[in-house]
Amino acid sequence: MLEIRHLRKVYEGTGRSVEAIRDIDFTLAQGELVCLVGPSGCGKTTLLKCVAGLLRPSAGSVLLDGSPVTGPRPGLAIVFQEYGRSLYPWLRVGDNVELPLRHRKGLSRTERRTRAAEALATVGLAEAGRAYPWELSGGMQQRVAIARALAYRPEVLLMDEPFAAVDAQTRADLEDLVRRLWTERGMTVLFVTHDIDEAVYLGERVLVLSRSPTVVLEQIEVGLPVRRDQLTTRADPEFTRLRTRVLERIRGTVPDAAARDQ
């Protein structure tokens, strides 16, 4: 279980401080897939970095299975928004995927290789292991970054707008890949996006974030079937209803959730 408790983050610069996150509070159950949507610059990346233990929150805390996160910990992987900078250009694709496995105790060289090869095959890049990242297209690089996270076999997977830079078709394929991996592996997934359709299509729940200074505007349960399909799911009236709901919430045309519910 992943708990984010009244998280606040202020970046202290020289003479200037930016309140990226005011107060974010939510909980992810074990094995849940939750999408975070919010406008650009609202602090989504900041939030993920706090969850991963890469940044210290200014206030509040992150609890993973009850214990506070104070630094990076095994069992948690991130797919970064800037995949191009997250893959090391001096390592071949296979070595990039293997890198996080190198210090895993009790994992032999052969097992490492096999795991990396399997992960690459899962994302449809079985042949790319010997290539360098910069020899691949953007979408392929993003899949390598996903493969690296998968080979790590995390319990919690954080994905930061991973498909922002790929074309629509690749994007659809990658979305289905995430759904498939989630159903097969039972990881807890926190998926950040600014695309409302993507959030509704992927998530079991959608958290809508406000503009900066950021709070959670609303949590929306997605009542779509577990098996989803680009054509039928997106044509589902429930899908349309949910995306309208999220959109209205972001645009601010719906009265405050608390006020309406009374």
Partner 1 sequence: MSGAGVRAALRMGGALLLVVGLPAVLVTVWWFASAGSTSFYEPPLHRIVSTFGRVWTPERLRTDVLPSVLRLLGGYALAGAAGVGCGVLLGSYRTARAVAEPVLELFRAVPPPVLVPVIMLFAGIGDTMKVVVIAFGCFWPVLLNTVEGVRAVDQVADETARCYGVRGGRRLLRLVLPSAGPQIMAGLRQALSIGIILMVISEMFAASSGIGFTVVEFQRSFAIPEMWTGILVLGLLGVVLSLLFRLVEQRVLGWYHGLRGARREGGGGHA
Ligand X SMILES: Nc1ncnc2c1ncn2[C@@H]1O[C@H](COP(=O)(O)OP(=O)(O)OP(=O)(O)O)[C@@H](O)[C@H]1O
The least CB distance from residue 248 to partner 1, in Å, is 34
Instruction: Pick the stretch among 18-26, 38-46, 94-102, 215-223 that binds Mg ion (CB under 5 A).
Output: 38-46
Footprint on residues 198-257 left by partner 1 (CB under 8 A): none
The least CB distance from residue 81 to Mg ion, in Å, is 5
- Say which DSSP state 262 is in: -
- Say which DSSP state 9 is in: E
> Which lies closer to ligand X via its Cβ, residue 122 or residue 193?
193
Judged by CB under 8 A, the residue of 33, 35, 37, 78 near partner 1 is 78
Helix (H) or strand (E) holding 146: helix 138-151
The least CB distance from residue 69 to ligand X, in Å, is 17
39 by Cβ neighbours in 10 Å (0-12 / 13-18 / 19+) ranks as middle
The least CB distance from residue 12 to ligand X, in Å, is 8
- For helices 109-122 and 138-151, give the axis angle rounded to 10 degrees: 130
Q: Using the rule CB under 8 A, is 69 a contact of partner 1?
A: no
Footprint on residues 140-199 left by partner 1 (CB under 8 A): 140-141, 148, 152
Token duo for residue 51: 């969850």
Q: Which does 139 bind (CB under 5 to 8 A by kind): ligand X, partner 1, Mg ion, none?
A: partner 1
Judged by CB under 8 A, the residue of 65, 111, 127, 135 near partner 1 is 135
Q: How far apart are CA 250 and CA 122, in angstroms?
A: 35
Token duo for residue 206: 């959608």
| Beta-bridge partner residues of 193 | 37
- Of 72, 73, 79, 188, nearest to 123 by C-alpha is 79
The least CB distance from residue 13 to partner 1, in Å, is 15
Q: Using the rule CB under 5 A, is 45 a contact of Mg ion?
A: yes
Largest CA distance in the chain: 60
The least CB distance from residue 96 to partner 1, in Å, is 9
Q: Are 110 and 191 in contact (CB under 8 A)?
A: no
x/- mask, Mg ion, residues 81-110, rule CB under 5 A, reads: x-----------------------------
Judged by CB under 8 A, the residue of 6, 56, 65, 82 near partner 1 is 82
Q: How far apart are CA 130 and CA 93, in angstroms?
A: 6
Task: Give me the phi and psi of 167, to 5 degrees please.
Answer: -70, 165
End-to-end CA distance of the chain: give it in Å, rounded. 30
> Which lies closer to ligand X via its Cβ, residue 98 or residue 161?
161
Residues that bind ligand X (CB under 6 A): 11, 13, 18, 20, 38, 40-46, 81, 161, 194, 212
